[in-house]
């Protein structure tokens, strides 16, 4: 095992999720690298205190430049609000560190392109977080779609649904303000999740029509007052892509107001010979269809068939913390040149492609028209 020293900037929801994935690294049995959290930076001293539970994390600072100056940090994971992505990602690269970025990789298309330029100039290893394709069911759906066994592709649907913002009494989070989340709103928030697998399959939208919806214009601000909220909360993107030389409808769904869904990622690919469907609402079930005399879908109980092997028994159920850990295994193994054909994390180029889709979706909604990419 080779130790890779990690620094985290932003110790909020995702910073702590990543730190806990490192803490149970012993679950993985076929990796040659081990992340060791050595440093964390967050503006909030109370947030830093949580990291006291990780003995290797000896540098806890409110100044992220102190973390970037530490020789004891090889890779920096940054999980901060979107308006800070460009500045912090570029500072990480300028400090000569490798970067594991969070989506959406900049607040808008211009920002994403400037980050990509900085990545190229620095020559550092950079990937962007997108963990849902590491579910065993998502991996199988990807392989089935890629291998072409389902005949001529008729339709692709990929999406991510949340219901947490259905409650009008929920205090406004920074993702409810365009100035911090970005004009794309839910596109910025959930778009990478919906786009990652279609883009990896080479199924990029060529022209699209988007329908965007806002949520509640006002919410409690969490301090006894009222906050004005202005972000798009639901987005439906109806696109055309090309698969095997044929034009195919591709629908991308990103919703923060999806009744009944807590954190549901899904993909469906239908073809003339077969089809495949996976949703994290049923984390070990893979649904497949084969054309035959009768119409029927088959459910396969996949269990814990992760890309990177673990001590967890094959019959058990995968969950969010598991795919976060698998994603990190993919990042660190690819960095070492040891991915060996396994599914890699989202690339900076793919992240820029997602922003091209978001920009086209915003333009389409504004104009009420189809937009070519």
Q: Does 27 bind ligand NAD (CB under 6 A)?
A: no
Q: Are strands 98-101 and 126-128 parallel, antiparallel or unpaired?
A: parallel
Q: State which residue, 88 or 118, has the beta carbon closest to ligand NAD.
A: 88
Piece of the chain touching ligand NAD by CB under 6 A; list 4-12, 27-35, 156-164, 223-231: 4-12
Residue from 21, 37, 79, 302 that binds ligand NAD (CB under 6 A)?
Answer: 79
- Smallest separation (angstroms) from ligand NAD to the CB of 122: 20
Contact (Cβ atoms closer than 8 angstroms) between residue 18 and residue 77: yes
Residues 6+ apart with CB under 8 A from 349: 116
3-state helix, strand, coil in the chain (%, to 5): 35, 30, 35
Q: Which of 19, 31, 41, 141 binds ligand NAD (CB under 6 A)?
A: 41
Residue among 8, 33, 38, 42 that touches ligand NAD (CB under 6 A): 42
Q: Mark the segment that binds ligand NAD (CB under 6 A) among 9-17, 264-272, 297-305, 353-361.
A: 9-17
Q: Counting contacts by CB under 6 A, is residue 60 touching ligand NAD?
A: no
Q: Residue 285: enclosing H or E segment and its boundaries?
A: strand 285-290
64 binds ligand NAD (CB under 6 A): yes
Q: Which of 139, 193, 205, 129 is nearest to 162 (CA)?
A: 193
81-100 residues in contact with ligand NAD (CB under 6 A) are: 82, 84
Dihedral over Cα of 132, 305, 5, 120: its sign: negative
Task: Return the number of other C-beta atoms located less than 10 Å from residue 81's C-beta.
Answer: 18
Q: Between residue 98 and residue 157, which ones bind ligand NAD under the rule CB under 6 A?
A: 102-103, 129, 131
Choose between 90 and 371: whose C-beta lies nearer to ligand NAD.
Answer: 90
Give the total residue count for the chain. 373
Cα–Cα distance between 115 and 30 in angstroms, integer?
Answer: 33
Nearer to ligand NAD, 104 or 275 (CB): 104
Binding site for ligand NAD (CB under 6 A): 9-14, 41-44, 47, 64, 79-80, 82, 84, 102-103, 129, 131, 189
């Amino acid at each position: 095992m080779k130790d890779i020293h990690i620094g985290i900037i932003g110790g909020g929801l995702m910073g702590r999720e990543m730190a806990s994935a490192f803490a149970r690294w012993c679950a993985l049995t076929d990796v040659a690298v081990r992340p060791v959290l050595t440093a964390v930076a967050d503006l909030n001293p109370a947030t830093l205190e949580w990291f006291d539970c990780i003995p290797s994390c000896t540098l806890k600072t409110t100044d992220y430049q102190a973390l970037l100056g530490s020789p004891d940090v090889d890779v920096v994971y940054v999980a901060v609000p979107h308006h800070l992505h460009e500045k912090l990602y570029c500072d990480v690269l300028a400090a000569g560190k490798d970067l594991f970025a969070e989506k959406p990789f900049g607040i808008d298309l211009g920002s994403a392109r400037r980050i990509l330029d900085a990545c190229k100039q620095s020559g550092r290893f950079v990937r962007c977080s997108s963990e849902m394709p590491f579910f065993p069911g998502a991996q199988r759906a990807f392989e089935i779609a890629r291998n072409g066994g389902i005949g001529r592709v008729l339709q692709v649907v990929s999406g991510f649904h949340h219901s947490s913002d259905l409650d009008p009494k929920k205090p406004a989070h920074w993702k409810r303000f365009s100035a911090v989340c970005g004009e794309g709103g839910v596109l910025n928030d959930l778009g990478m999740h919906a786009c990652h697998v279609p883009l990896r399959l080479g199924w990029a939208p060529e022209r699209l029509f988007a329908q965007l919806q806002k949520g509640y214009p006002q919410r409690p601000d969490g301090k006894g007052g009222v906050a004005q909220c202005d972000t798009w909360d639901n987005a439906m993107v109806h696109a055309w892509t090309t698969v095997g030389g044929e034009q195919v409808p591709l629908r991308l769904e990103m919703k923060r107001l999806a009744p009944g869904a807590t954190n549901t990622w899904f993909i469906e690919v239908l073809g003339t010979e077969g089809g495949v469907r996976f949703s994290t609402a049923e984390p070990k079930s893979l649904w497949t269809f084969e054309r035959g005399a009768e119409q029927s879908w088959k459910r396969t109980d996949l269990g814990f068939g992760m890309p990177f092997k673990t001590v967890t028994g094959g019959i058990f159920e995968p969950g969010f913390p598991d795919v976060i850990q698998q994603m990190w295994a993919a990042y660190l193994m690819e960095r070492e040149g040891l991915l060996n054909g396994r599914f890699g994390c989202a690339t900076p180029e793919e992240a820029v492609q997602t922003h091209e889709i978001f920009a086209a979706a915003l333009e389409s909604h504004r104009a009420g028209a189809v937009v070519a990419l």
